[in-house]
Amino acid sequence: MINETLDEIRKKALDAIAQAADPDRLNDIRVSVLGKKGELTGILKSMKDVAPEERPKVGQLVNDTRAEIERVLDEQKQKFEAALLDAKLKNEVIDVTLPAKKMRVGHKHPNTIALEEVERIFIGMGYEVVEGPEIEKDYYNFEALNIPADHPAKDEQDTFYIHGDLLLRTQTSSAQVHEMEKGRLPIKMISPGRVFRADEVDATHSPSFHQVEGLVIDKNITFADLKGTLDEFSKKLFGAETKTKFRPHHFPFTEPSAEMDVSCFKCGGKGCRFCKGSGWIEILGCGMVHPHVLEMSGIDNREYTGFAFGVGLERIALLKYEIDDMRLLYENDSRFLEQF
């Protein structure tokens, strides 16, 4: 009777295994036949009803049936796993003959291109590039540059004050004061960097922009040295045919002071839309370092003289690449940036 029951359990289990569609179904069969409450386990529990002399034989039959079912279950499980692996490998096949995905590589920003060109020109003339802090003391940003406490440039509507006498620098000239205080003369330097002013954002203004300031201090420096330096700079930046023109102006830290124009590199000075018909384009401010500025930095103004100049980096980029809106430099529009 038990033999017939075992044969029936074995045949039923093997048929179910053969028809199983996935590993989950195999697990269900394993539990229903071999589990704690499975059919074979139930037969083992009923061994108490079997004659003692028959128990070894019946136990052996149960174990043989269990071993056969487990073997077929394992074989079928391996087949499912092999099929799954094969399908996965087929989905992950790489066609090495396909073209690779094109990598988008970044490039230099127009401001960076302009700055590197300016630095290359002045380094070629023997200048040193010096950087200064963006958070500056009032003294270095204003007082040491001959801008007294009641000067309009110190009004809070123009300057970002942080706390007490700390502020965001409004000009990179403060780096020049730090350099002058070191007392290592002569000085021949430019100081590029970011500056901050409380301006509204429009096509030609921004609360954050970049300047390149220059300073030369030595014995017997004259305005002729300043003119010759800036004329050479303009020719190397805008072309050998460029002419320069100086107009009187006023800056607190230079005396005499001037603004410099360059001949329009679009029309050659004939007059066009780019130069508004004048043939000239304003490019920078400059002048001889004020004797009081030298004195405050501990330099003997009877023995040493010097000149200084400052140009907006964005202005150079706008002019050189014929960009009509400064905001394009900061909006990260790839359609614009990819042109450079």
| CATH code of residue 236 | 3.30.930.10
Distance CA 152, CA 161 (A): 15
Please indicate, yes or no, whether residues 211 and 327 belong to a single structural domain of this protein: yes
Distance CA 339, CA 327 (A): 16
| pLDDT of res. 46 | 65
Is the omega angle on the peptide bond into residue 152 within 30 degrees of 0, that is, cis?
Answer: no
| pLDDT of res. 12 | 79
Amino acid (one-letter) located at 202: D
Please indicate, yes or no, whether residues 74 and 153 belong to a single structural domain of this protein: no
Alpha carbon of residue 336 to chain centroid:
17
- Domain span at residue 287 reads 110-337
Is residue 171 included in any domain, yes or no? yes
The domain tally of the chain equals: 2
Is residue 204 included in any domain, yes or no? yes
Tokens of 100: 């690779």
Is residue 128 included in any domain, yes or no? yes
DSSP code string of 252-264: TTEEEEEEEEEE-
Is residue 79 included in any domain, yes or no? yes
Is residue 101 included in any domain, yes or no? no
DSSP-derived letter for residue 331 is S
Q: Are residues 178 and 145 in contact, defined by beta-carbon separation less than 8 angstroms?
A: no
pTM of the model: 0.67
Is residue 83 included in any domain, yes or no? yes
Is residue 307 included in any domain, yes or no? yes
Distance CA 161, CA 278 (A): 39
Number of H helices, E strands in the chain: 11, 10
Alpha carbon of residue 55 to chain centroid:
81
Please indicate, yes or no, whether residues 87 and 138 belong to a single structural domain of this protein: no
List, in sequence order, the alpha helices (H) in 212-338: 223-238, 291-296, 313-320, 334-337
Q: Tell which of 58, 91, 124 closes a domain.
A: 91
Please indicate, yes or no, whether residues 47 and 177 belong to a single structural domain of this protein: no
Please indicate, yes or no, whether residues 186 and 272 belong to a single structural domain of this protein: yes
| pLDDT of res. 274 | 73
Please indicate, yes or no, whether residues 184 and 292 belong to a single structural domain of this protein: yes
Please indicate, yes or no, whether residues 129 and 172 belong to a single structural domain of this protein: yes
Using CA atoms, how far residue 339 sits from 86, 161, 297, 324, in Å, is 48, 37, 45, 15
Divide the 340 residues of the chain into consecutive groups of 10 and give the mean pLDDT of each group.
71 79 80 74 66 70 77 83 82 80 82 92 95 94 89 74 91 94 94 90 85 96 96 92 92 94 80 80 94 95 95 88 84 82
Please indicate, yes or no, whether residues 116 and 87 belong to a single structural domain of this protein: no
Please indicate, yes or no, whether residues 324 and 273 belong to a single structural domain of this protein: yes
Indicate the length of the chain as a whole number. 340
| pLDDT of res. 49 | 64
| pLDDT of res. 259 | 95
| pLDDT of res. 82 | 84
List, in sequence order, the alpha helices (H) in the chain: 2-19, 23-34, 39-45, 55-91, 110-124, 138-141, 173-181, 223-238, 291-296, 313-320, 334-337
